[in-house]
Structure formats: C-alpha cells, structure tokens
C-alpha cells in the first residue's frame, strides 16, 4: 500500500502544518531575542530552521503516540501539541509553566500530549522510546513511539542499543536522526562513522534519507515509517538532513561554521519559504491565507512572551515537592 | 607574572603537563577545535596537534572507557566531560574498571587517567548542568576525587592529578571559573593530593568546605570575626582519600565544626566527615557537628536556585547555634 502524500493533504491540514511551523519559528526567534535581552535564565537550544522535521512527523501522530525529544526540544513540543503559553512560562521558570518551572527549556514534558520530554542528556531518548513502544505493544494502545536524536546523539551507545532491541523485539518505534550537521561544534561530516542509513540496514531496519527543509519529503517518509510501526511491522529510521539557524546554545560564538554557510542555508533552504512556495505554486493555498496564519502565529507568541514575563516565579515551598510522592 | 582565573589555571596546568610529558593527551567533546565549552582547553590543539588533543564523538561512556585503556597501556589521558550531569554514562567504566584495575591485577596494571568535569550550581543552568554529585565518586575505593577552589590550587592539584598513577576525578567548580584572578607561577609545582588546605586559622569554630562554597564560607568567617568569633576555614580539596587528620586536629583546637557543601544533604561528604569526627574526635567536641548543605531534591532551575544553595546567612545562622550551644 502506498502511503498518502503530503501534497494530497486537505487545505485545513496544510494550514495546520504551516501554523505549527510558524509557531515554532516565532517561538524560537522570540526566545532568542528575550535570551539576548537577559530575560530568560538557564540554557536554551533553539530549533529554528528545523521546523519541517518536527511538523512533518507530528502531523501523523495523536496524543496516544509518544515522542522523546532532545535538548533542542521546543519544536517537538509545539508540534506535538503542547500549549505554547505554558511552554513559554516554563522557559521563563515560572510557577505555572508546563512543568511548574522545574523543567525549563531542556526538560519540558506534557504526558497528556504524549510528549515524554525534551532531554538534557544526549542519547537519552531512544531507550525511553523503546520502553514506550513496548508499553504500547503490551497494553495494545495502538500507539507508536518516536525518538528524535541529533547527529551527535546518533553516536551514543544508548541509541545503537535501542536500534537493536527495537528490531529484535519488533517494536512500534521510529528513530528520527535530525542531522543538523553539528553536534555542538563537532561536525557530523567527520564524527559519524559510516552512514545513518547503513546503520539502519546493519540492524535490519528500513531507513530513508529526507530533505529536512522540505515538509512534504519529511511528511511522506514519516507516513511510511509510522505506518509500518502501526501495522506491527517494526521499527524504522529516518535520516533528516537539516540545519539549525542559531548556535548550539544561545551565547554560542559559532566558531565552527561560516556566516556564508548560514546565509546560504537561510536564503535557499528555509523550510517555511519552501513550503509557501510549493503550496502557492500548486494552488493548494493562496498567499493571503498563509499571511493570515503567519500574523496569528506572531500575535500568539507575543502574548505568550508577555504572559510569561508577568507570571510569578515558584516560591521556596516548591523546593522539596515532586521528589517523591510522599516525602 | 600574569594573573589568571581558575579556568585559565586549568589550561595552564594542562599545557605544562603536556609540555613535560609527551604521553599526556587531552580528549573529549569539543575540546579541540572549539577549545572546550568553558574554554579550558583553548589553544592546546594549535600547540600540541590533533594526535594529542582529540575531539571525540559525543559518547561519554566511550570517552571514559577509552581513557582507561589508554592509561593502562602507557598514555596519560586527561578527558573532559562537559558537565557533571553528563558523567553518569562514565560511572560504569569508572566503577567497574578504572577504580579497580590496580587491585584486580595485584598492582600490575595502573590507570593514570584524569577525568575533568565542571560541576556545581549557581550559573542559572538546569539540573544536569548544575549538580554536585562528588559523593558518588568518593564512595568508590580506588578513585581519587579532587576539587580545586582557587586558581593556584587548580594549577597545582591538576598537575598532581595528571602525575598521579591512579585515576582522578577532577571536579572544577564552574561558578568560580572566572570569579577571582590570582598570580600563579607556571613553574610546574604540584600540590599534594592528600592534605586539606587551611585557608584561615581560628580558635572558636572549624568551618570545613570545598569547591565554590569556599568563597561563601570565607565570607562567613569574616562576618564571624566582626562578631568576635574566630573561625578556622579548611578547604578539603582532596575529597577522596579524605585527610580527616587535619580536620580532627583543627576541631581538637576549636571544639566546634560546621561542614558546608552544595551537594544534597543525605549521604553527602559532610556525613562522612561528621562520622569521622564522632569516631575519632568526640571528646574534643563541645557542640554537635552541623552541616549546611543543599537539599535532598533535584537541583532546581534558576528561579529557585537561591533557595537551594547554601549562603552566608545560612552558614552564619548555624555557626551562631554552635557558639550559643557551648
């Protein structure tokens, strides 16, 4: 059976995809500005540039499906349906943030949305996803589980151990390697041995490489991999070639790549521009519909920032809560 | 002589050790081209080349395990783990192999490696980037745990750690990486790995601490002096093996002891020091041994960090209790 193509999506689904990508872009651009202005504490790692990857996958998932994210998790959270205002409050460390201000940028989670958490530990997600996939299989929820890892995370033992187990136990798991070319400052061009697809092949999993700047390419590959997992046909790997617009973390001096490279990627490979171009050229959506979504998204994120700034910080009474159920 | 801060002193010691001994090599994530996330290894790649300054893939378990193999077979690796929260994949390799290679082979194989990691809170980072779990390593026979608290001790202790024939976990309090500058002669002089440093002499009270908390503790000692209380301040620095002797001698003199550490309270190093004082110094004590520590919780995010961290006020309150006790 051929998987459905993204180009056949109904209008409202295309709008939904574009809205999520816009929300992520505006969210990340705002966090970048707010961090630079000194309003946001902690460390933040931004997903701008990679939107098509998260959205291309999450379009196929429902709340019963689980995902595990990375330290660069805002995009996955938004695409999985986490409330952007509660997310922004979490990043600001506020008491009514999505995790009560205890998780922060790197540990946002919302189990009601199937979002098992961003993760400060590189390679932390794949084993969790094997567990979530096994639970789904055992409890017959019909859900699948998706691990996002970066090119850096693809070299962790935990990731490779997970590939093996997911295959031998035929788990409904999908491993998405978001290769944005740099693990911090370490280029994947020399730090990743072999190839991501050959790795999948070595473990007996189907693998597919996609252009992560093209929502439709990601969407189609995701449909195939997720469809296989839902049908009990086991795990798959998708190698998403992408690019992050900002540094590894906010404050990164970015000494390991050139401004020319960044400029070229932003002007020629921007996933939002590519999406708009594709849907308007083919007449699937008109430019005014996209502009409307863009404006609504911008306004939503502005509100999220304003509310996060005004929200109260957790008090000392919260210091010892949530360590154990009873303490 | 140039004044350097703590992280520059680390860099200076690394360069000195590499200059002195061709077998000393540096490895870790982003240590080469990038010079380390905190700039501890900056310049080393240019100076010593990529065969001695190695950027590794992102794989902490491998970094530790590979260092053990290198150390057992003639090299002297100094590996960096970017943050202490990333060190746990190394625990398997360190506990199962590094710490017991010597014992297991009846002394035939050694493991002269150093694993450096920035640690501790106060820089507004999330949990894995802020915690202080030195006690996990201090619990393991065969590992040394060293924590410098000034540029000169960073230089001297790191040189000693690199020259030492056994595995050393070298924890650098990142909050004070750039807090103070000090003249540190780059003369290759190492400091001993088995004695505490008495930073201030006193007669009424002994304050025992290490890492970044040394600074709050010294400030507390100043404030106590204003109140007419004379506090002795000991920087443990070489947390394991622990020089309990120096602490006992001090408490024999003062009769009171407060231990200050940032790590969570339960089963922290403060508990070990208090136990040693009870075992061997009970009759010197005029008051209970007290601890001022972090709380038994996950290291909180920045908005709550100030509730978690021991501070001068908390230290003074506890000192006052002891002085009032007897």
The closest CB to that of B34, out of A157, A255, A318, belongs to A255
Residues forming beta bridges with residue B77, ordered by sequence position: B25
> What pLDDT score was predicted for residue A4?
64
List domains and CATH numbers for chain B: 3-183 (3.40.50.970), 197-323 (3.40.50.920)
**Mean pLDDT of the residues in chain B:** 96
pLDDT band for position A1 (50/70/90)?
very low
The closest CB to that of B127, out of A120, A123, A158, belongs to A120
* Positions of B marked catalytic: 129
- Between CA B294 and CA B108 the distance in angstroms is 41
Query: Over 50: is that where the pLDDT of A5 sits?
Result: yes
Which of chain A's residues have a Cβ under 8 Å away from the Cβ of B55?
Answer: 186, 191
The pLDDT tens digits for A39-91 are: 998 899 999 999 999 999 999 999 999 999 999 999 999 999 999 999 999 99
pTM over 0.90? The answer is: yes
Which of chain B's residues have a Cβ under 8 Å away from the Cβ of A255?
Answer: 33-34
Does A155 lie at the interface with B, CB-CB under 8 angstroms? yes
Omega within 30 of 0 (cis) for the link into B46: no
Q: Are B257 and B251 in contact, with CB atoms under 8 Å apart? A: yes
Continuous H helices in chain B: 6-20, 44-48, 60-72, 88-96, 101-104, 134-138, 151-163, 213-226, 244-254, 269-281, 302-308, 312-325
Does A312 lie at the interface with B, CB-CB under 8 angstroms? no
Query: Over 60: is that where the pLDDT of A2 sits?
Result: no
> What pLDDT score was predicted for residue B39?
96
pLDDT band for position B303 (50/70/90)?
confident
Q: Answer whether B86 sits within 8 Å of A106, measured CB to CB.
A: no
The pLDDT tens digits for A272-299 are: 999 999 999 999 999 999 999 999 999 9
Residues 56-75 of B with CB under 8 A from A: 57-59, 61-62
Query: Over 50: is that where the pLDDT of A259 sits?
Result: yes
Cβ-in-10-Å burial (0-12, 13-18, 19+) of B69 comes to middle
Q: Are A17 and A43 in contact, with CB atoms under 8 Å apart? A: no
pLDDT band for position A327 (50/70/90)?
confident
pLDDT band for position B300 (50/70/90)?
confident
Which of chain A's residues have a Cβ under 8 Å away from the Cβ of B91?
Answer: none
Strands B182-183 and B3-4: antiparallel
List domains and CATH numbers for chain A: 4-309 (3.40.50.970)
Cβ-in-10-Å burial (0-12, 13-18, 19+) of A291 comes to exposed
Residues 6+ apart with CB under 8 A from A177: A149, A150, A151, A153, A154, A196, A237, A238, A239, A240
The pLDDT tens digits for B90-146 are: 999 999 999 999 999 999 999 999 999 999 998 888 888 899 999 999 999 999 999
């Amino acid at each position: 059976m051929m998987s459905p193509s993204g180009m056949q999506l109904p209008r409202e689904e295309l709008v939904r995809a574009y809205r999520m990508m816009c929300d992520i872009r505006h969210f990340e651009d705002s966090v970048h500005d707010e961090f630079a202005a000194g309003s946001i504490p902690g460390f933040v790692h931004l997903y701008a540039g990679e939107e098509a990857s998260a959205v291309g996958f999450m379009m196929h998932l429902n709340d019963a499906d689980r995902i595990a994210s990375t330290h660069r998790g805002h995009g996955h959270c938004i695409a999985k349906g986490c409330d952007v205002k509660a997310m922004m409050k979490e990043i600001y460390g506020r008491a009514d943030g999505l995790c009560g201000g205890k998780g922060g940028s790197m540990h946002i989670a919302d189990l009601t949305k199937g979002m098992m958490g961003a993760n400060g530990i590189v390679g932390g997600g794949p084993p969790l996803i094997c567990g979530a996939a096994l639970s789904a299989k055992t409890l017959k929820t019909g859900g699948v589980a998706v691990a996002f890892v970066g090119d850096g995370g693809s070299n962790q033992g935990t990731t490779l151990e997970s590939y093996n187990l997911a295959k031998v136990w035929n788990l409904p798991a999908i491993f998405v390697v978001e290769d944005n070319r740099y693990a911090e400052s370490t280029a994947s061009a020399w730090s990743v041995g072999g190839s991501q697809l050959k790795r999948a092949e070595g473990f007996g999993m189907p693998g597919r490489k996609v252009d992560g700047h093209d929502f439709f390419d990601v969407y189609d590959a995701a449909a195939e991999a997720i469809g296989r997992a839902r049908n009990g046909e086991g795990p798959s790997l998708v190698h998403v070639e992408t690019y992050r617009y900002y540094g590894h973390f906010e404050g990164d001096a970015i000494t390991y790549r050139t401004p020319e490279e960044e400029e070229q990627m932003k002007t020629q490979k921007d996933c939002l521009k590519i999406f708009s171009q594709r849907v308007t050229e083919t007449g699937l959506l008109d430019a005014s519909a996209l502009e409307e979504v863009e404006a609504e998204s911008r306004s939503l994120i502005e509100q999220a920032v304003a509310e996060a700034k005004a929200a109260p910080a957790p008090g000392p009474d919260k210091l010892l809560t949530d360590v154990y159920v009873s303490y | 002589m140039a004044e350097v801060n703590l992280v520059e002193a680390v860099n200076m010691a690394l360069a000195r050790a590499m200059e002195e001994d061709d077998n000393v090599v540096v490895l870790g994530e982003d240590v080469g081209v990038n010079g380390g996330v905190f700039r501890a290894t900056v310049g080393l790649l240019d100076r010593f080349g990529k065969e001695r300054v190695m950027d590794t893939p992102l794989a902490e378990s491998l970094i530790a395990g590979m260092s053990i193999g290198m150390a057992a077979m003639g090299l002297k690796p100094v590996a960096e783990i970017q943050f202490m929260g990333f060190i746990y994949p190394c625990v398997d390799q360190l506990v199962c192999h590094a710490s017991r290679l010597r014992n297991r082979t009846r002394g035939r194989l050694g493991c002269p490696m150093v694993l450096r990691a920035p640690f501790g809170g106060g820089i507004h980072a999330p949990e894995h980037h802020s915690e202080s779990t030195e006690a996990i390593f201090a619990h393991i026979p065969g590992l040394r745990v060293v924590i410098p608290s000034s540029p000169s001790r960073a230089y001297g202790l790191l040189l000693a750690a690199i020259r030492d024939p056994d595995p050393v976990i070298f924890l650098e309090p990142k909050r004070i990486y750039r807090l103070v500058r000090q003249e540190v002669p780059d003369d290759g002089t190492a400091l001993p790995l088995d004695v505490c440093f008495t930073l201030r002499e006193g007669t009424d009270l002994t304050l025992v601490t290490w890492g970044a908390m040394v600074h709050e503790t010294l400030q507390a000692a100043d404030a106590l002096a204003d109140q007419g209380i004379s506090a002795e301040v000991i920087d443990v620095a070489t947390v394991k093996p622990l020089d309990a002797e120096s602490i006992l001698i001090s408490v024999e003199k003062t009769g009171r002891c407060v231990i200050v550490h940032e790590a969570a309270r339960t089963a922290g190093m403060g508990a070990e020091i208090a136990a040693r004082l009870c075992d061997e110094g009970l009759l010197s004590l005029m008051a209970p041994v007290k601890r001022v520590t972090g709380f038994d919780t996950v290291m909180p995010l920045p908005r709550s960090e100030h509730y978690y961290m021991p501070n001068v006020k908390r230290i003074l309150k506890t000192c006052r209790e002891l002085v009032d006790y007897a």
